């Protein structure tokens, strides 16, 4: 990358996709206004996100001076393809809506174009004149002119037909039959095929869509430390050992297996068990302290195996329907080769030492952050990009990026853009737990999915507010949540004190609120809940610093519930999207109720969860029937996919009773009854 290329990239406020569309108001006779187009993120600075096969519903305010009718359409194109058009429909009050489908990976752009619909205006006025009994002979001649202009714009076949209509109209202009000719619906259709787009106005921004593969929207993650995978107690696990875990993980229905960093681990200032200092000689260190004499971000920790072993693991995982996600943590241990080769990529203190990571007064001397303000930032960016490309070459297509919010935003936008151009099937998960502005910015810059505050949202109010923000506002267009009830860093208070039932509740919420979720296992399914200490949300004896060995067949394991939930997710498309999440009322704050529905409401799932892990809770849920396409007059059957129970419900309000530990939730599929309509139905 030459520096002027990079400068060029930054001087554009919106990244141009392919050749720009031609353009804007150049004539004072452009009377139509096109504005308030949605979706549009920060004035078009950022793309919205979709996966292949989804639609983009576009709305705009389109209007003109005076009383003429307007018409408008979406213009859209896939990068490198022809411009296409999709007509819009009036919603009233100058608002218009249309949609288009994105069928290929990559980038699309879209905008809206509007124009005066002269023929429709003329026809509307003509009808009024005729109703008022006015002489319309001159008006019919005006119409004949409009038809002839349509003929001039038409292709050969329609040209002839339109000319004939114009001639008939002209010949009968002073005759009573003229009006009938003018208002013929065939004529209207024909003219509408060749709209007069003279002085059409295009919206002044070109908006863009990044289209990813389906897994960007719907994915089920299992986080696993490879070094804990050995069947031999106390042995360091290898990729070969991990292969043995694949049937177990696959049987629970996961489709992504995510590995913490697999690179050589630094020795200098290595942390011991429970993050202690100094480490004991047999301590293994944190996989996030990347780099040693044995290599850095493009190397594999020798105790895990070889690059060949890793490639074999990728292939075996694929055989089980599992994709491997790698952790990219852009930081170095003091022993990382970069430290010797490129000291200019780190910040040097006045005493000549390299600045280690800090959150004063805490010091992380085993970690050197990259210095993104180095004058050699271009070389640094290129090298970091090559890390992604290296693993892409090995076959990895999903990256979980560690703490992206402590690296520069500009870097992420650039590197994701560069990689996506070459490899549009690569997915990026942002692991940023920080302020909302920062998390949302990272999503706008290009991350496919993001960790969320779900981990700490426990009450009905907290969950409702947060998920309405994520799924019922513009955030939906660019931020794809990936819900984690736990991570190696986070054992939330809710799980610490709620025992086994609390793990069930959080699992059910994660699996049904979000199209994507993940667990850090096997810690999660085994309900491990011992914290480092009071008031801490770190794990005691955290796997980050030591090997763990677990009894997967424990009676306590949630593996059967996980398997059932993931099967329900696979079988019910509504749960694979966040588009139509709606919360419903309940008269008990411990009961949370929400639905997910297909766009056409033909298929609906209703979830009711007892958020209280300690007590049986009962109450009435108040379903907004119109939001799921139901009629209050009819009863309807709901089928609990968890318990296989079936209930006949009636109207909006229905009673539920949920028991922690055994039946903490209903996941109800609405079973529509194909009923014969009887007269008395209308008298109910």
Catalytic annotation, residues = 402, 431
Of the pair 28, 234, the CB lying nearest a copy of itself is at 28
Q: Contact region for a copy of itself (CB under 8 A) — 180-188, 300-308, 373-381, 527-535?
A: 373-381
Q: Report strand pairing: 646-650 vs 449-450.
A: unpaired
Binding region for a copy of itself (CB under 8 A) out of 72-80, 234-242, 356-364, 643-651: 356-364
Helices (H), 213-273: 239-251
Minimum CB distance to a copy of itself smaller for 445 or for 591: 445
**Nearest distance, CB of residue 544 and a copy of itself, angstroms:** 21
User: Would you say 145 or 309 has its CB closer to a copy of itself?
Assistant: 145
Residue 604 φ/ψ, nearest 5 degrees: -140, 135
Which tokens belong to 115? Answer: 């124009």
Binding span for a copy of itself by CB under 8 A among 107-115, 133-141, 158-166, 266-274: 133-141
Nearest distance in Å: CB 466, a copy of itself: 15
CB 105 → a copy of itself: shortest distance, Å?
27
Whether the Cβ atoms of residue 57 and residue 99 lie closer than 8 Å to each other: yes
Instruction: Give the shortest CB-167-to-a copy of itself separation in angstroms.
Output: 15
For a copy of itself (CB under 8 A), the number of binding residues is 68
Report the nearest approach of a copy of itself to the CB of residue 441 (Å): 6
- What CA–CA distance (Å, rounded) separates 560 from 574? 22
Give CA–CA dist 598/580, Å, rounded: 7
Question: Residues 463-482: x/- map of binding to a copy of itself (CB under 8 A)?
Answer: --------------------
In whole angstroms, give the CA distance from residue 485 to residue 511.
Answer: 10
Output DSSP code: residue 375: T
Residues contacting residue 64 through CB under 8 Å, at least 6 positions apart: 31, 32, 33, 70, 114, 116
Q: Does 22 interact with a copy of itself (rule: CB under 8 A)?
A: no
Q: How many Å apart are CA 355 and CA 270, to the nearest integer?
A: 16
For residues 428 and 636, which CB has a smaller minimum distance to a copy of itself in the complex? 428
Nearest to 397 by CA among 258, 302, 260, 511: 258
Q: Does 134 bind a copy of itself (CB under 8 A)?
A: yes
x-marked contacts with a copy of itself along 594-633 as a string, rule CB under 8 A: ----------------------------------------
Residue 360 or 534 with smaller CB distance to a copy of itself: 360
Nearer to a copy of itself, 198 or 681 (CB): 198
21 binds a copy of itself, rule: CB under 8 A: no
| Of the candidates 446, 415, 449, the residue with the CA atom closest to the CA atom of residue 216 | 449
What is the x/- site pattern for a copy of itself, positions 140-179, by CB under 8 A?
-xx--x----------------------------------
Residue with tokens 């303000």: 373
Cβ atoms within 10 A of the Cβ of 661, count? 14
Q: Which of 36, 167, 193, 671 binds a copy of itself (CB under 8 A)?
A: 36
The whole-angstrom separation of Cα 307 and Cα 300 is 7
Shortest Å distance, C-beta 358 to a copy of itself:
7
Task: Give the phi and the psi of residue 71 in degrees, each rounded to 5.
Answer: -140, 155
User: Is residue 129 a contact residue for a copy of itself (CB under 8 A)?
Assistant: yes
Residues in 82-101 that interact with a copy of itself by CB under 8 A: 93-94
Minimum CB separation of residue 672 from a copy of itself in Å reads: 39
Tell me: does residue 33 bind a copy of itself (CB under 8 A): yes
Which of 22, 360, 533, 534 forms a contact with a copy of itself (CB under 8 A)?
A: 360
In the complex, least distance from residue 451 CB atom to a copy of itself, rounded to whole angstroms: 16
Which region, judged by CB under 8 A, interacts with a copy of itself, from 135-143, 186-194, 284-292, 511-519?
Answer: 135-143
Phi-psi region of 403 (alpha: psi -120 to 50; beta: other; left: phi over 0): left
Q: Give yes or no for residue 138 binding a copy of itself (CB under 8 A).
A: yes
CA distances (Å), origin 188, targets 97, 165, 257: 22, 11, 58
Within 377-416, the residues that bind a copy of itself by CB under 8 A are: 377-378, 381, 405-411, 414
- In the complex, the smallest distance separating the C-beta of residue 141 from a copy of itself, rounded to whole angstroms, is 4
Min separation Cβ 684 and a copy of itself, Å: 34
* 3-state DSSP assignment of residue 429: strand
For residues 549-558, b (16+ Cβ closer than 10 Å) or e, as one string?
eeeeeeeebb
Collapse the DSSP code of 669 into the 3-class scheme (helix H, G, I; strand E, B; otherwise coil) and give the result: strand
Is residue 29 part of the contact set for a copy of itself (CB under 8 A)? yes
Q: What's the token pair of residue 621?
A: 């849920």
Residue number, 441 or 457, with CB nearest to a copy of itself: 441
Q: Characterize the bridge pairing of strands 665-671 and 604-610.
A: antiparallel
Answer yes or no whether residue 123 interacts with a copy of itself by CB under 8 A: no
CA gyration radius for the chain? 31
Instruction: Please identify which residue in 358, 393, 465, 599 interacts with a copy of itself, judged by CB under 8 A.
Output: 358
Residue with smaller CB distance to a copy of itself, 123 or 669: 123
Site for a copy of itself in 244-303 (CB under 8 A): none
Which listed residue (128, 189, 340, 675) binds a copy of itself by CB under 8 A? 128
Quote the least distance from Cβ 347 to a copy of itself, whole Å. Answer: 10
Per-residue interface string for the shown chain with a copy of itself, residues 423-462, x marking contact by CB under 8 A: ------------xxxx--x---------------------
| Cβ atoms within 10 Å of 537's Cβ, excluding its own | 16
Strand partners for 78? 108
Sites for a copy of itself among residues 184-243 (CB under 8 A)? 199, 204-205
Please tell me the distance from the alpha carbon of residue 462 to that of residue 456, in angstroms, as a whole number.
9
For 535-593, where are the alpha helices, taking DSSP H only? 559-571
User: Do 324 and 313 contact (CB within 8 A), yes or no?
Assistant: yes
* Spatial separation of the C-alpha atoms in residues 512 and 35, rounded to whole Å: 37
Contacts of 280 (CB under 8 A, 6+ apart): 272, 273
> Considering the complex, what minimum distance in angstroms separates the CB of residue 289 from a copy of itself?
19
Q: In Å, how far from its chain's centre is CA 530?
A: 33
Residue 349 touching a copy of itself (CB under 8 A): yes
In the set 22, 66, 533, 535, which binds a copy of itself (CB under 8 A)? 66
DSSP track, 79-129: TTS--EEEE-EEEETTEEEEEEE--SSEEEEEEEEEEE-HHHHHHHHHHHH
Binding site for a copy of itself (CB under 8 A): 6-7, 10-11, 13, 24-31, 33, 35-36, 42-45, 61, 63, 65-67, 93-94, 124-126, 128-129, 131-132, 134, 138, 141-142, 145, 199, 204-205, 349-351, 353, 358-361, 372-373, 377-378, 381, 405-411, 414, 435-438, 441
């Amino acid at each position: 990358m030459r520096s002027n290329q990079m400068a060029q990239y930054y001087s554009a406020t919106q990244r141009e996709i392919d050749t720009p569309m031609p353009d804007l108001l150049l004539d004072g006779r452009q009377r139509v206004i096109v504005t308030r187009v949605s979706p549009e993120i920060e004035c078009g600075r950022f793309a919205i996100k979709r996966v292949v096969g989804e639609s983009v519903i576009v709305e705009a305010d389109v209007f003109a001076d005076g009383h003429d009718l307007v018409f408008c359409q979406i213009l859209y194109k896939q990068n490198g393809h022809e411009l296409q058009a999709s007509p819009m429909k009036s919603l009233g009050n100058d608002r218009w809506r249309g949609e288009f489908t994105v069928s290929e990976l990559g980038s699309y752009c879209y905008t809206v174009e509007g124009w005066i619909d002269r023929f429709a205006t003329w026809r509307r006025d003509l009808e009024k004149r005729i109703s008022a009994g006015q002489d319309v002979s001159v008006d019919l001649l005006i119409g004949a002119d409009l038809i002839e202009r349509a003929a001039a714009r038409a292709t050969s076949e329609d040209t002839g037909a339109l000319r004939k209509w114009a001639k008939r109209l002209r010949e009968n202009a002073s005759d009573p039959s003229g009006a009938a000719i003018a208002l013929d619906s065939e004529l209207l259709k024909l003219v509408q095929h060749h709209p007069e787009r003279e002085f059409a106005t295009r919206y002044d921004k070109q908006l863009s869509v990044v289209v990813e593969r389906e897994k960007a929207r719907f994915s089920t993650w299992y986080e696993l430390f490879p070094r804990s995978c050995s069947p031999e107690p106390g042995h360091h696990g290898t990729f070969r050992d991990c292969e043995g875990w694949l049937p177990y993980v696959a049987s629970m229905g996961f489709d992504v297996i995510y590995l913490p960093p697999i690179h050589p681990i630094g020795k200098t200032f290595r942390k011991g068990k429970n993050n202690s200092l100094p480490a004991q000689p047999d301590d293994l260190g944190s996989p996030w302290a990347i780099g040693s004499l044995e290599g850095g971000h493009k190397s594999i920790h020798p105790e895990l195996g070889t690059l060949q072993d890793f490639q074999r693991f990728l292939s075996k995982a694929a055989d089980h329907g599992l994709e491997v996600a790698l952790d990219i943590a852009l930081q170095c241990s003091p022993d990382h080769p970069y430290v010797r080769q490129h000291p200019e990529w780190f910040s040097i203190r006045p005493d000549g030492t390299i600045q280690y990571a800090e959150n004063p007064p805490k010091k992380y001397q085993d970690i050197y952050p990259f210095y993104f303000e180095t004058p050699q930032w271009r070389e640094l960016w290129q090298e970091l990009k090559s890390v992604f490309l290296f693993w892409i070459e090995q076959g990895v297509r999903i990256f979980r990026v560690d703490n992206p919010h402590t690296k520069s935003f500009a870097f992420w936008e650039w590197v994701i853009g560069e990689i996506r151009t070459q490899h549009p099937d690569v997915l990026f998960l942002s692991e940023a737990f920080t302020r909302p502005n920062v998390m949302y910015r990272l999503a706008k810059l290009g991350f496919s999915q993001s960790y969320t505050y779900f981990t700490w949202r426990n009450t009905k109010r907290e969950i409702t507010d947060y998920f309405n923000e994520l799924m019922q506002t513009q955030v939906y267009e660019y931020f794809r949540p990936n819900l984690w009830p736990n991570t190696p860093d986070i054992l939330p208070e809710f799980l610490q004190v709620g025992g086994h039932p609390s793990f069930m509740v959080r699992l059910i919420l994660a699996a049904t609120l979000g199209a994507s979720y993940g667990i850090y296992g096997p810690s999660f399914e085994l309900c491990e809940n011992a914290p480092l200490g009071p008031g801490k949300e770190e794990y005691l004896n955290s796997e980050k610093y030591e090997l763990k060995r677990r009894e997967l067949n424990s009676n306590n394991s949630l593996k059967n519930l996980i398997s059932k939930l993931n099967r329900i997710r696979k079988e019910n498309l509504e749960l694979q999207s966040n588009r139509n999440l709606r919360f419903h009322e309940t008269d008990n704050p411990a009961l949370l109720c929400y639905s997910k529905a297909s766009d056409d409401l033909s298929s609906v799932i209703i979830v009711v969860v007892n958020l209280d892990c300690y007590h049986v809770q009962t109450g009435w849920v108040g379903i907004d029937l119109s939001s799921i396409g139901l009629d209050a007059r009819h009863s309807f059957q709901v089928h609990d996919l968890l318990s296989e129970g079936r209930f006949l419900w009636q109207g909006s309000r229905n009673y539920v009773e949920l028991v922690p530990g055994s039946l903490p939730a209903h996941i109800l599929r609405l079973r529509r009854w194909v009923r014969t309509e009887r007269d008395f139905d209308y008298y109910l």
